[in-house]
Structure 1
Amino acid sequence: MNVLLKAATIVDKESKHHLKKRDVLIENGVIKKIASSITSEKKIKELSLDNLHISRGWFDSGVSFGEPGFEERETIENGLKVAAASGFTDVAIHTNTSPVPDNKGAINFLKASAKGNAVNVHPLGCLTRQSNGEDLAELFDMNSAGVTSFYDYKQPVINPNLLKIALQYVQNFGGVVQSFPQENAISPKGIVHEAINSTKLGLKGIPSLAESLQVARDLYILEYTGGTLHIPTISTKESVALIKEAKKKGLNITCSVSINNLALTDDTLETFDTNYKVTPPLRTNEDVKALLKGLKEGTIDMVTSDHNPIDIEHKKIEFDHAMFGSIGLESCFGTLNSVTDLETTIHALTRNEVFNLPSIKISEGNTATLTLFNPNVSWKFNLNDILSTSTNAAMIGQRMKGKAYGIISNNKLVLNA
């Protein structure tokens, strides 16, 4: 794949061309030259796009594609097309499939299904067998198959001793343990944030305490064991404070936040729209402010779309019985760039190193793993913007700032139609 990007503004803090407008010549998937102006003598495709910006390829630390087991929600093939069109060169695939990926064979299936694609797939492995929370899965074998992080999707590690053993064990090969931040015993049958709105609407609540209790416990265990812990999708101001303090202590702790919790509050629940039924639940405006501040300060390491397609039979039903989840790949960048500045946005979408994955600097001689985008275009996210098989989108009707043009990755150029 050979292409000449014309007048592209480079957004990469580690590049000497950061925030400068440059021509970028890519030959056979490698950045051959970066200069103010390049005229190619060869017959190379020139790409000129309105207000073109490029950055390192974006990484989504947690997406669900359904396959295997729930192909009616999303297949791997279609999910990767959605990811590429949305600007993501790398995705970590969640473990909510059937069967779950708790062994080397299941991991190899996921990687084989994505072979030859422009988007790099990084399967997450289950922390426990069958994600049942009782016995550790085959962590070392899955690591030998390329898994760097282990997570039972949206399930807290109930047994503190199990978390202790996992954190100690993965130190042998540099693995990352994930622990969902919710103490279920505090919120039995809870479905939304516990506050004034849940009371008014008559919906069972999940208090902030359920999250902060679990986070505090996990951080105490991490301090005892060492190792690397990642807390996915925090949602409360208390969690931000706890993790900030843990980082000051020097603990090897990272965390992410779902784009849903950065842009929406529990005020949206008044419509009883099941697209807003997500986990962690949408919290208060005060929590959103704390999360955004934590993101800018570096307490929160990364933002995930938390893309989770749900078929209509499990979503378009009574709020109490609807499944949790929203798709988010298509709207992630436009939403995030609407609530924070561009450099914070790009930094939050390019933190591959959190999962021990490479993040390739925009520099001559390096492999071209790039996202192409316009950060200033204003648009409204509607049903016809959805590329996913399922349409359960919490961001429907929201105004967006910025849109991806596509990606260059694995010697392939993928552009939005």
Structure 2
Amino acid sequence: MNNALIKSARIAFADTPFHGKEMDVLVEKGVIVKIATEITVDNEKVSIFDAKGQYLAPGFFDMNVNFGEPGLETKEDIDSGCAAAVAGGFTGVAVHPNTHPPVHSRSEVALIVNRAKRLPIDVYPVGTISKKREGKELAELYDMKLAGAVAFSDGNRPVQQAGLMSRALLYCKGFAGTVLSYPEDVSVAAGAKMNEGVMSTYLGMKGNPNLAEVLMIARDLYLAEYNAAPIHFTTISTAESVALIRKAKAKGISVTCDVAAHHLVMTDDLVAGFDSNYKMSPPLRTITDVKALRKGLKDGTIDAIVSQHTPHEVEVKQVEYQIAAEGIIGLQTVLPLVLQAGLTVEQLVDKLAIGPRRVLGLPFPEFREKAEANFILFDTEKQWRFDRHSNRSKSSNSPLLGRELKGGVTMLINKRQLIKTQL
């Protein structure tokens, strides 16, 4: 189904003359052929969609997702991960190297690129910073870049050696590579099960203090400044982190950052019930941190919102909280969480579609006649239930499973493929 007439959609493409207007859009074979206030067609091969009350926006891009392939396909493979991305409104994802083997050479990068070619989602591998994610020796960064890697990170293993991170920043600077820092000082956070605070004291669990994140951000900011190289911090979670990055930007340091959608809504109080689906890394913080993160989004300190989609099998997640794996699936629930956090449509489009592509140096979707369509339709008032029927992931580790959510995607068009979502 590649031919469609979308009627009366509210356009949410900034920097176009159509922004904020209600327009009809005709798409044929995946290409925008006409944009007007009123379009009529007689062709029976064109499907007509009433989009009254819905927003037509550039496809979202998630720069922090985890698929299991290669090696951990029982968690998620590229097909099922992309199905979840479609349902969540993402036309592009950057896949982190938390796989087995990790994505640390051109072979793994090429595998992911080739596996995703036929799918409606643009899949960009993130290569490792260090070989085997061991934090000892630089991986084949430039080689992976040539094979299709869009950025470099050791995934959920923070780079503990300052010298290694410094060399990575300097080396990537030479070929415009993007370094993603997952900020956590393991020596401070080691063994933690949740955020350090009143709730961790009450529950008697070792806490991960804000300090563990802030120390690493401070270190990497110094390294970025020293090497005159850009750096991106992924999934920041504390008020202190926002303040540090805000000051660094004002100082002229080339720094960007993102936040996971769940950190904009959920707090460490939720851990009181020992539901392992609230165990994640970085951990859920306090309401003070949540408010600071929301403010950071609105004032431009935080550049993007991510899902941090981290699927797990039931054997490692539906167990006692203390021994459960960290992370939740999130591709399908980003939009409802962002709306719950109070972002406007303009703000969420900027942080979910434009900001991530700007950080990674990727082209923005265009909304003009003769351009290849890369957009979604979403309804901020749509009520839907996230359950085993609507969940597209192989895994089910989400505290939102079984709940009614507000805000959903109804259509996605990308790579000349049109998909009407079935949420």
TM-score by length of 2: 0.96
For residue 202 of structure 1, report the CA deviation from its aligned partner. Answer: 1.2
**Which runs of at least 4 in structure 1 moved beyond 6 Å after TM superposition?**
none
Picking from 138, 141, 158, the partner of 1:139 is 141
Identify the residue that residue 279 of structure 1 maps to in structure 2: 281
Asked if 1:252 is matched to 2:254, the reply is yes
Corresponding residue SS for 1:358: coil
Picking from 356, 359, 366, the partner of 2:361 is 356
- Matched residue pairs, number? 417
Identify the residue that residue 292 of structure 1 maps to in structure 2: 294
Aligned equivalents of 2:151, 2:110: Cα separation in 1: 15
Corresponding residue SS for 2:127: coil
Identify the residue that residue 38 of structure 1 maps to in structure 2: 39
Asked if 1:5 is matched to 2:31, the reply is no
For residue 45 of structure 1, report the CA deviation from its aligned partner. Answer: 1.9
Identify the residue that residue 68 of structure 1 maps to in structure 2: 70
Identify the residue that residue 237 of structure 2 maps to in structure 1: 235
Picking from 399, 402, 407, the partner of 1:394 is 399
Corresponding residue SS for 1:287: helix
> Does the 8 A contact of 1:175 with 1:228 survive in 2?
no
Picking from 308, 323, 343, the partner of 2:325 is 323
> Does the 8 A contact of 2:10 with 2:52 survive in 1?
no
For residue 361 of structure 1, report the CA deviation from its aligned partner. Answer: 2.6
Per-residue CA distance 1:188-236 (angstroms, 9 max, x = gap): 2012000010011111100001111110111011111012211000000
Aligned equivalents of 2:82, 2:292: Cα separation in 1: 32
Aligned equivalents of 2:403, 2:43: Cα separation in 1: 44
Asked if 1:345 is matched to 2:348, the reply is yes
Picking from 374, 383, 405, the partner of 2:379 is 374
> Does the 8 A contact of 1:327 with 1:394 survive in 2?
no
> Does the 8 A contact of 2:7 with 2:52 survive in 1?
no
Aligned equivalents of 2:292, 2:400: Cα separation in 1: 21
2:39 aligned partner, one-letter code = I
For residue 164 of structure 1, report the CA deviation from its aligned partner. Answer: 1.0
Picking from 293, 308, 311, the partner of 1:309 is 311
For residue 413 of structure 1, report the CA deviation from its aligned partner. Answer: 0.3
- Structure 2 unaligned blocks of 5 or more: none
Corresponding residue SS for 1:8: strand
Aligned equivalents of 1:287, 1:395: Cα separation in 2: 21
CA-based RMSD of the aligned residues comes to 1.3
Aligned equivalents of 1:310, 1:28: Cα separation in 2: 37
For residue 397 of structure 1, report the CA deviation from its aligned partner. Answer: 5.4
For residue 40 of structure 1, report the CA deviation from its aligned partner. Answer: 2.6
Aligned-pair identity in percent equals 39
232-241 or 34-43, which deviates more: 34-43
Identify the residue that residue 207 of structure 2 maps to in structure 1: 205
Corresponding residue SS for 1:359: coil
1:377 aligned partner, one-letter code = K
> Does the 8 A contact of 1:178 with 1:230 survive in 2?
yes
Per-residue CA distance 1:355-404 (angstroms, 9 max, x = gap): 11111132223221001111122445445432211110033355533101
After TM superposition, the structure 1 = structure 2 runs for residues 150-229 of structure 1, keeping only pairs within 5 Å, are: 150-229=152-231
Aligned equivalents of 1:215, 1:399: Cα separation in 2: 37
2:158 aligned partner, one-letter code = P
Corresponding residue SS for 1:349: helix
